[in-house]
Amino acid sequence: MAAVEQEGAYSNLLLNQVLKQANLTPADTGLATELVYGTIARQKTLDYYLESYVAKGLAKLQPWVRSLLRLSLYQILYLDRVPDHAAVSEAVNIAKRKGHQGISGMVNGVLRNILRNRDKLTIPEDLPAAERIALMHSHPEWLVQRWIEQYGEQEAEAMCRANNEAPPVSVRVNTTMISRNKLIQEMQEEGLVVEPSLLSDDGIIVKSGGNMALTDWYKEGMLSVQDESSMLVAGAVDPKPGMTVLDCCAAPGGKTSHMGEKMEDQGRIIANDIHPHKVELIHRQAERLGLASIETVCHDALDLASNYKEASFDRILLDAPCSGFGVIRRKPDLRWTKSPEDVEAISALQYELLSRVSKLLKPGGTLVYSTCTTEHAENGGVVERFLKENDQFAPAGHLSLREELRHSAILDEYGIQILPHQFHSDGFYIARLTRVETS
């Protein structure tokens, strides 16, 4: 965690690397993962409480000591599995091994003092809304303020609360191999607790069943691990067998392969990414799922218009790079590494990407613009500007959702915004555009 804070390391990559070296049991691996992600997620709240008990202030502590205190307090406040005395004892032992007697004594004193005053660990209710929500649910205050301005105080707090919940496990059925009903039946026969997704006709929620990427169903290409909101994107593209489709920023290939499945593997999908190692991920995904219609290429998406003829694709998916604020619960450190300036910079890139790749769409074709963020500047703001400056394009109508789900999601003139608390899925924006046929 000190490396995440100091060096900007990605928590998921660093944790996976450490866990591989540690050779822990599945139970201990789960606990370690929960401790790391939970401590990063709750950092602002933990620091607020610790600040009153660290005499010289948290900022003056060595990073590893600060991380140790956070980790220990997280166990005390948020985990039932670890007794308080065990959390304190382990923290003191670590401090002795890594530091010296003075540090271990300080760690022991801080944590035991907190335990004695546990009932005083509260967030004042009379704070301004953004400050209160930021402290209560551990988010940057600037980000909470933006969400209040865009969605209102109640929705903003619900989003923050959802970002601290563990995401459900969902898988997408490869319908070229097996039906959803048949796969659900097989899973239940094996003792898994599963239910059909309400968001996607191709999705299954796995309530109990372990790591789905280790199952034979995954290895044999019958399913892919994918969030429910993400599954909606291929449906919005609505590719048909025999079509030519461009996926501009395709890695790691989940939406690409979903389109291939919907096309019954008939037609041609150009799956592009700027990074060669990510292109390889797409290729391996297509091979695992038995999809021969996917052709991988490696270009900067800004240059795609110089590699393909204008108006040469029936469908285009631009799943644009974004701030990622819709997937904070999966990547808890995202909330601490982004800034308002990042949102401005990425929205400028998104607009440029949309402007350039749109030239490749055939008249009457469909272009889907999607992101996994909740920021209007990156979503409806980009689409609105594009349509104002490109009169040969128009909204193509919203993607199809069940009526009860459509009522909960947020619709603008161009697309649909899903917030992370609405369906317990990732935050996503999806807009459908068409190129107007000229006579």
Tokens representing 99?
């530091």
* Those residues with Cβ within 8 angstroms of residue 302's Cβ, 6 or more apart along the chain or in another chain: 352, 353, 356
252 is in an annotated binding site: yes
273 is in an annotated binding site: yes
253 is in an annotated binding site: yes
| 191: alpha, beta or left? (left if phi > 0; alpha if psi -120 to 50) | left
300 is in an annotated binding site: yes
Q: What is the rounded CA–CA span in Å between residue 350 and residue 169?
A: 29
Single out the residue of 371, 240, 251 nearest to residue 313, CA to CA. 240
163-188 in b/e burial notation, b at 16+ Cβ within 10 A? bbeebebbbbbbbbbbebeebbeebe
134 is in an annotated binding site: no
30 is in an annotated binding site: no
250 is in an annotated binding site: yes
Single out the residue of 242, 259, 299 nearest to residue 275, CA to CA. 299
326 is in an annotated binding site: no
Answer for the pair 408, 422: CB distance below 8 angstroms, yes or no. Answer: yes
Single out the residue of 130, 204, 202, 201 nearest to residue 160, CA to CA. 130
Instruction: Tell me, letter by letter, the H, E, C secondary structure of 263-277.
Output: CCCCCEEEEEECCHH
Please indicate whether residue 160 is annotated as part of the active site: no
Q: What is the rounded CA–CA span in Å between residue 222 and residue 213?
A: 11
84 is in an annotated binding site: no
Query: Could you tell me which residues are annotated as the binding site?
Result: 249-255, 273, 300, 319
- Residues labelled catalytic: 372
Query: Could you tell me which residues are annotated as the binding site for S-adenosyl-L-methionine?
Result: 249-255, 273, 300, 319
